[in-house]
Structure 1
Amino acid sequence: MSLHDDRHTLDGDVFVSPRHLAGSTCTGDPALVPLLDHGWDLQYDDLGNVYVNAPDRRVRLGYLPEGEDDGLWRINAYKDPFGPPTWGVCFNDRVPTEFVQAFTTAIATAYEQGPDTYLARPVSGTDEHDPFLAVVPLLQQGWQIDRPRWGVFAVQAPDGLAGLEFTTGDLDPEAELTTRDARWQLWAGKSIDRPVWYATASTDTPVALLTAVTQCVADPTPLPRWRQETLSYIEGMAQLTPIIPPQPPAPTPLDVQRAAASRRPAALPAASVPRWSTTSRPALPSPRR
């Protein structure tokens, strides 16, 4: 599909490229729908925070606009519903909503396939669960391998305004779930220290779920946004292209016929047209004066 084929349904007046600079759409609905469509339970509190739970409570999502920090989205999975999380992912309040939606779509699918899928631990050197498979979609779009500091493997976007880091060695499991000191960190902005947005994933987050996000980030298709809601933090960094207003549809052959018929003069009633035939009587002579 070409860039403008669905322009009449787009929510925005500009396309933002590269998409990692698009920022949030400021609505959580698109990322919640994949879970709700699979029958997950929705609850909310009186502050406006939303909680979505898998039927067996082994995967839980919090959409927390009134949370304690900027971690707007928090998703955790559990082997034991009453135990500590097996893995956790966090997206802050400026992450492009499409990236969160890619993750929730992947976890909804993985949940349907069973615990062996959504609790699958990354294992280096395996065909399916090697953690570095999550980096491949970015490398295929020209992201470059970087070595920012000891013990960290990283790749950086061609424009230098986004990156993905993988930290090696032992990490504090609790800190991974509550801070940015996690195994994986994806970010965009001028530096990782003060990013426009960031997302983190803890050590045992399944590779397939991470890859769903990096594939969405790597997609070269621009994202639609409202200009007034994006310029405040991407001005001078992103390319903005106006969304062309929708054009009227091309007329069909039936449309052309109808238009021609509407321009044709109306025919006179048949009774008003004098006709002559061989059976007609000759006209009578007019009376003389």
Structure 2
Amino acid sequence: MHAQHAALDRERTWSDDTTHAIHESQTLRIEHVHEAPAHETTWTVAAYETPVSDRMWVLTATGATPAPVLQELLDHLADGDGWDTAIGAPVDEKTVTTATQPLSDAGWKHTVDGRWIRWTSPLGDAGVQFDAFTAQHPSQNLATWTVWAGPGPDRPAWTLTASPNTPSSLLADLSETLAHGTGTRHPRTAGREHRTSLGTTPPATPAVAASPATSRSR
């Protein structure tokens, strides 16, 4: 591994129920809960300005989230680009446009319903929802973005949520993955077999660039 890169250290809890991956700067942490039900949170990614500060942003994914979607997430984190984000500022129109441009380019249906802004795939089997009200409270780690795929938003096969300060570049990468149809086709199975068929075996945790740690030296 190149000298300028540092790997995430993996630590398993004594019960073996959870795996934690922590960047050497201790400002990016990933938690994976083993054997969680498909509809419950299995992955949690959290970023911090310093090792002892509150979260800057948090992203979660349920157990049935397909491996290619998780891999895109991990690849983005491995690139070390976009960890840092403005704290305390409301999410603006430019941020939303950047995060969802791949969906617009792919012809996803765009609708506005009060506080909710939604993008839905042409086949109606996936969508992204943005909560404009929650976005105005960036100091809180509330679910502002919701990504889903499956029969419908009320019966998703899997969901991914993200707080207001989640980097728009990360959301754009995930949008690009969805725009290409990744993770939007689901076999009619259930339970553990359902999770397995969706390819939920955790991808190998890649190396993460050390540069974000340097960028936070203020």
Shift of 1:160: 1.0
Contact 2:150 2:156 in 1 (8 A): yes
Change (3 A) 1:173 1:193: farther
Deviations 1:248-283 (A, max 9, x none): xxxxxxxxxxxxxxxxxxxxxxxxxxxxxxxxxxxx
Q: Which residue of 1 aligns with 2:99?
A: 134
Q: Which residue of 1 aligns with 2:127?
A: 163
Structure 1 stretches lacking a partner, 5+ long: 1-36, 177-181, 234-289
- Would you say 1:154 and 2:112 are equivalent positions? no
- Would you say 1:232 and 2:189 are equivalent positions? yes
* 3-state SS in 2 of match to 1:80: coil
Using the size of structure 1 for normalisation, the TM-score is 0.56
Q: Which residue of 2 aligns with 1:206?
A: 167
Q: Which residue of 1 aligns with 2:207?
A: none
Q: Which residue of 2 aligns with 1:91?
A: 61
Out of 56, 60, 70, which is 1:100 matched to?
Answer: 70
Q: Which residue of 2 aligns with 1:44?
A: 12
Out of 106, 113, 119, which is 2:84 matched to?
Answer: 119
Question: Greater helix percent: which structure?
Answer: 1
* 3-state SS in 1 of match to 2:159: strand
Q: Number of aligned pairs?
A: 178
Deviations 1:75-125 (A, max 9, x none): 000012122211000010111111111111111212xx5xxx312238535
Shift of 1:142: 2.0
Q: In structure 2, what is the Cα distance between the partners aligned to 1:100 and 1:86?
A: 20
Which residue identity does 1:42 align to in structure 2?
R
Q: In structure 1, what is the Cα distance between the partners aligned to 2:179 and 2:6?
A: 27
Contact 1:100 1:213 in 2 (8 A): no
Contact 1:49 1:66 in 2 (8 A): no
Question: Greater strand percent: which structure?
Answer: 2
Structure 2 stretches lacking a partner, 5+ long: 191-218
Deviations 1:152-207 (A, max 9, x none): 1111011112110111124585562xxxxx11000012332231110001000111
Q: How does 1:277-288 map to 2 (within 5 A)?
A: none
Shift of 1:38: 4.4
Using the size of structure 2 for normalisation, the TM-score is 0.72
Deviations 1:109-156 (A, max 9, x none): 12xx5xxx3122385355xxx232111111222211123x31111110
Shift of 1:47: 2.8
Contact 1:119 1:205 in 2 (8 A): no
Taking only aligned residues, the RMSD between alpha carbons, in angstroms, comes to 2.7
Q: In structure 2, what is the Cα distance between the partners aligned to 1:125 and 1:185?
A: 17
Aligned-residue sequence identity (percent) comes to 23
* 3-state SS in 2 of match to 1:105: helix
* 3-state SS in 1 of match to 2:152: coil
Shift of 1:66: 5.2
Shift of 1:39: 1.2
Which residue identity does 1:104 align to in structure 2?
L
Q: In structure 2, what is the Cα distance between the partners aligned to 1:185 and 1:215?
A: 15
Contact 2:47 2:55 in 1 (8 A): yes
* 3-state SS in 2 of match to 1:216: helix
Q: In structure 2, what is the Cα distance between the partners aligned to 1:83 and 1:184?
A: 23
Q: In structure 2, what is the Cα distance between the partners aligned to 1:39 and 1:172?
A: 29
Q: In structure 1, what is the Cα distance between the partners aligned to 2:128 and 2:62?
A: 15
Q: In structure 2, what is the Cα distance between the partners aligned to 1:106 and 1:123?
A: 21
Out of 42, 45, 65, which is 1:75 matched to?
Answer: 45
Q: Which residue of 1 aligns with 2:178?
A: 217
Computing the radius of gyration over CA atoms, which structure comes out larger, 1 or 2?
A: 1
Change (3 A) 1:209 1:175: closer
